[in-house]
Amino acid sequence: MNKSEIAVFDTTLRDGTQGTGINFTLKDKLEIAEFLDNFRIDYIEGGFPLASEKEAAFFQEVKKLNLKNSKICSFGSTRRPGIPASQDTNINALLQAETPAVVVVGKSWDAHVTQVIGTDLEENLEMIRDSISYMKSEGREIIFDLEHFFDGYKGNPEYSKRILTCASEAGADCLVMCDTNGGTLPQEAAGIITELKTLSLAPLGVHFHNDTGTAVAASLLSVDAGAVHVQGTVNGWGERSGNANLCVIIPNLSLKMQKKLSCSNNMTELTKLSRFCAEKANIIPEKNQPYVGETAFNHKAGQHADVISKAPELMEHLDSSLIGNSRKILLSELAGKSTIVRKLSKYGEYDKRSEIVDELTQRLKQKEIEGYEYEAAEASFDVIMRKALNKFQPLFELQNYHLESHKTMTSKSKTVGRLFLKAKGIEHMGAAVGEGPVDTLNASLRDALIPSFPFLKELHLIDYRVRVLNPEDATAARVRVFITYTDNENSWDTVGVSENIIEASWEALIDALNYYYNNFILKDQK
């Protein structure tokens, strides 16, 4: 393996799963580990082998993957007070996980030693020394996590330094200073690391939580101050406000600070890494996340879009393709004709003064007055463009649909739907029973279409959002519906607007299916 300057340590599968709503199955964990390995993350923390059967099984199964680049780590605490490390169940479970590296976590805030584990400061040092040297003698690489390091250091720097020295002398390969409560500011952390320079210690690492919104900044300043190992999670997932976000730390270290990382040659996969893990966690990642977010390279105002087409470097901090993301020029009232020209370029070269550009600009304005918004629904605008260009082929012709909701005093309401349509010249009926009308409509439509278009089986609705446009009109208010559909590889968004929520949803649904049909199935027609 080529030598990197800074080791990147991923704890998505351990600390990341402490985040609200983050759950991975064993299969998800293995797939993420494989992705991280291909991306060349240096270390992957798999979890605490004694925590559950799923955690223990992970270590058994991950061995079979024969990862090429990353070292899998098990995670657990130092031995309990008063017994030798060799007889401690936790310590032996860490060894039985048979990982090349082990993360041992120890107390480093004096108040936690005396008040939480209820032992004295000297015994805590002995627990650290004994645990590390025992596992070293078993041939493991030891990453020692100093829990609450920065808070402990602020109150009792001498004791913190003794812990660092003790772990170092016991043979730890890396000393990771953790800001467990997440309250340390970047300049404080960097100042403390600088004060440690007089000590002769094993290499230093850092682990920050984002409670002050500065976890990434603290990680970067720590590297400047001398840390050579950085821990974090994909998309910044983690307890409370999350952990330091590796999807931001990695490009900052590699592309802005020019540090050599093992994953430096894989930067173009970074956006995929973020989205792959989000898919596994079944979470829609923050759209405005730096670097990898869906909107990270979006441009709205018409003038911006104009400059972008001439000199993108004047409007962007980085070429989005370097990290595998892409620029989007948003459609809006503000957008100039050059945006329309750019959107149309998919179908040919059109001049700003051409009739079609004029027609689409007018149409966009009219639709926006009615409440449509295409910034987050580009697939619907694509359908409009195709229609204007006569490059649109509808998937089907609707004849009619019926939806009926049933409820009794004691049962939950259910909706029954029937739908008749004509596809490929043949009449079809679709039927479904669902929880609500939109769900039922979607299911009936799929039921009717799948016999003629089996590709629809692979498409799924993954997000549905409703916004009331004029709440002052109460129940007569117009609603705007956005939906997101996916084929598991691509996702696209569509919009519908109506006083009737079912009608608005219907518009968005058929746009979504027609968009896919025209762009992915009939693509030769472009």
- Binding residues (CB under 5 A) for Zn ion: these are 15
- Residues 256, 265: Cα–Cα separation, whole Å: 14
Strands annotated E in 11-83:
43-47, 71-77
Residue 283 main-chain phi, psi, to 5 deg: -130, 140
Helix (H) or strand (E) holding 232: strand 229-232
Smallest separation (angstroms) from Zn ion to the CB of 63: 25
- Residue (15 or 110) nearer to Zn ion, CB: 15
Nearest approach in angstroms of CB 208 to Zn ion is 8
Question: Judged by CB, which is closer to Zn ion: 231, or 415?
Answer: 231
Distance in Å, CB of 243 to Zn ion, minimum:
6
Distance from C-alpha of 253 to C-alpha of 249, rounded to nearest angstrom: 6
Angle (nearest 5°) at CA 391 between 387 and 393: 80
> CA-CA distances (angstroms) from residue 397 to 419, 468, 482, 510?
11, 29, 22, 11
Closer of 8 and 504 to Zn ion (Cβ): 8
What's 525's DSSP letter? G
* Residue with Cβ nearer Zn ion (10 or 15): 15
Q: Residue of minimal CB distance from Zn ion?
A: 15
- Give min distance, CB of 209 to Zn ion, in A: 6
Q: How many Cα atoms occupy the beta-carbon half-sphere of 48 within 13 Å?
A: 14
Element (DSSP H or E) covering residue 433: strand 426-434
Provide the minimum distance between the beta carbon of 98 and Zn ion in the complex, in angstroms, as a whole number. 24
Nearest C-alpha neighbor of 495 from the set 503, 299, 436, 487 = 503
Question: CA torsion, points 194, 196, 201, 206, in degrees to nearest 10?
Answer: -60
Q: Is 288 exposed, middle or buried (0-12, 13-18, 19+ CB in 10 A)?
A: exposed
Taking the least distance from each CB to Zn ion, the nearer of 15 and 378 is 15
DSSP 287: T
Considering the complex, state which of residue 237 and residue 374 has its C-beta at the smaller distance from Zn ion.
237
CB of 227 to Zn ion, least distance (A): 16
With respect to Zn ion, which residue has the nearer C-beta, 104 or 509? 104
- Contact by Cβ (8 Å): 372, 495: yes
Structure tokens at 520: 């992915």
Which CB, 204 or 479, lies closer to Zn ion? 204
Closest distance of CB 18 from Zn ion, Å: 7
Q: Would you report the helix, strand and coil content of the chain in percent, each value rounded to 5? A: 45, 20, 35
| Minimal distance, residue 238 CB to Zn ion, in Å | 6
